[in-house]
Amino acid sequence: MAKASTTTSPRTNKASKKPAPRETQGAPRSSTRAAYTLSAAREAELLREAESLADNTVVFPGKLARRVVWASRIQLAAERDAADLVRTPFPEDEPPLTREEIRALRDKIELLRATQSRWQAAQQRQERAAATFAKPAAEAALHRQTLLRFFDLRFKKSPEGQKRLMAIRAGSGDADLVQDVSDLLLLCSEHAEALHKAPRGEADAADRLRELSPLLARMLADKTLSPEAQRSRKLRDAAYTLVVLAERRLRAAAEYWYAGTDKMKDYAPFPVSRGAASTGDEEEDEAFAEDGAQESDASEEGAADGGATEGGATEDGEPGEGEEER
């Protein structure tokens, strides 16, 4: 019996190599897009919009690189589906979705990048100042103990003096240390003659504290989060909120058109850990975002199905519901 031919016709081969219809393809990867820069005028406009949110913001959960990829995928999916999305019948109290609004998400993503970079720069300055503060603070603490030992003996029969020492010992932390040094130096000036007669280096300890006192005060100011740094963090959270709110609008429109279809995976909310808040230390490799790397299939499908990875939470809560940043 002759064997059936297994040769595939050229026409069949060509048909099998045809790309899948656009409707069945996911959102294009962000790596296919040219580098994008936010203009100064557009950034200023978005910053005004961000500032108008006041305290109605969502705390940025960190993971900037992955978050940018996720938001970019939603924006690209919305551009792909714009012909449908702009016809979504939103309620009368909401403006209609436009192509300009869809494109604007890209600007908001870039604003998030910029504000996160500024916040991190401010935070790194604070961390460097904190590291610099540690050594002189440790030395001051040793001299503090030397002088407290001296005054414990001197005020053994003085209730008023003992109260002053108790007040010095009561505090803790860097700010209290700076104040303790100031209070001890006042005591030293009041008992200068006795201090200079003390045999265990008390006079030298007082002299050294006089040198350290202004240095510690200045360093404490440097390591405390400045108003400028606080503003940069607040703007970062506001920029992030603009991204989240824009995504919600696109997701609502997509739900109207594509609920129950694979397309909704491209609009899934970003999965975050419960209680996650950015400290600025979790920054990931920016190449992850630039290369358009995608989340794992498991995390994408879990989020698209209404679940989420990393503790089962997504960031779709209302603005103002995020936990305070540490």
Across the range 224-248, mean pLDDT stands at 91
Do 85 and 68 lie in one domain? The reply is: yes
> 183-220, pLDDT tens digit by residue?
999 999 999 999 999 999 999 999 999 999 999 999 99
Mean pLDDT of the chain: 80
Residue 66 within a domain: yes
> 101-160, pLDDT tens digit by residue?
999 999 999 999 999 999 999 888 888 888 999 999 999 999 999 999 999 999 999 999
Q: How far is CA 220 from CA 111, 131, 138, 142, 296, in A?
A: 31, 11, 13, 18, 44
Do 94 and 239 lie in one domain? The reply is: yes
* CATH number of the domain within which 160 lies: 1.20.1440
Residue 142 within a domain: yes
For residue 223, the model assigns a pLDDT of: 85
Residue 324 within a domain: no
Separation between Cα atoms, residue 26 and residue 119, nearest integer Å: 34
Last residue of one domain, picked from the residues 177, 207, 223: 223
Do 50 and 86 lie in one domain? The reply is: yes
Separation between Cα atoms, residue 42 and residue 36, nearest integer Å: 13
Residue 11 within a domain: no
Q: Are strands 271-272 and 313-314 parallel, antiparallel or unpaired?
A: antiparallel
Do 195 and 239 lie in one domain? The reply is: no
Across the range 271-290, mean pLDDT stands at 45
Residue 218 within a domain: yes
Whether 177 shows a pLDDT value over 80: the answer reads: yes
Do 208 and 157 lie in one domain? The reply is: yes
Do 108 and 68 lie in one domain? The reply is: yes
Last residue of one domain, picked from the residues 199, 223, 247: 223
Residue 17 within a domain: no
Do 214 and 284 lie in one domain? The reply is: no
Residue 27 within a domain: no
Do 210 and 136 lie in one domain? The reply is: yes
Last residue of one domain, picked from the residues 175, 191, 223: 223
Separation between Cα atoms, residue 115 and residue 109, nearest integer Å: 10
313 phi/psi in degrees, rounded to 5: -110, 150
Structural domain boundaries enclosing 64 = 38-125+227-314
Whether 232 shows a pLDDT value over 70: the answer reads: yes
Helices (H), 259-307: 286-290, 297-304
Do 104 and 234 lie in one domain? The reply is: yes
Residue 246 within a domain: yes
Helices (H), the chain: 10-17, 40-51, 64-80, 82-85, 99-154, 159-170, 174-190, 192-197, 202-223, 227-258, 286-290, 297-304
Count the domains in the chain: 2
Do 188 and 202 lie in one domain? The reply is: yes
Do 66 and 111 lie in one domain? The reply is: yes
Separation between Cα atoms, residue 177 and residue 183, nearest integer Å: 10
Q: How does DSSP classify residue 305?
A: T
Task: Please state the separation of Cα 214 from the chain's center in Å.
Answer: 33
For residue 287, the model assigns a pLDDT of: 36
pTM metric for this prediction: 0.63
Do 210 and 237 lie in one domain? The reply is: no
